[in-house]
Structure 1
């Protein structure tokens, strides 16, 4: 796999604990996501599945 360019979640904050979700979308492939504290473990989702996930968390936030 070629080097991927990961984007950190804007909800990760800057508290310095290193816990965040990172996402990348390679050309012609599924969305890749991972926890920053375990970068070797990468999960995959199709575009429609990822869009559904984002819509769900935007409408059902669990943070204050």
Structure 2
């Protein structure tokens, strides 16, 4: 059985609100948040690049 090698985002810091990412051998990108680790979003590198570019262009307002 293959285990997923999750990496914590360097932007997450030491807090409990962390974003994790893992790449698969098929090229899929898996994303999860530490608050709900059982919920996994699956995307591709080009779509993730598009999302990051859009967020940098039009940042979403932060909530606390």
* TM tier, smaller: 0.7 to 0.9
Gaps (5+ residues) in structure 1?
none
Give 1:11's aligned residue: 11
* TM-score (norm. length: structure 2): 0.74
The reply to whether residue 39 of structure 1 matches residue 37 of structure 2 is yes
Answer 1 or 2: which has greater strand percent: 2
Query: Cα RMSD between the aligned structures?
Result: 1.8
Task: Give the length in aligned residue pairs.
Answer: 61
Give the Cα–Cα distance (whole angstroms) in 1 for the partners of residues 30 and 55 of structure 2: 17
Point out 4+ residue stretches in structure 1 off by more than 3 angstroms: 58-63
Gaps (5+ residues) in structure 2?
none
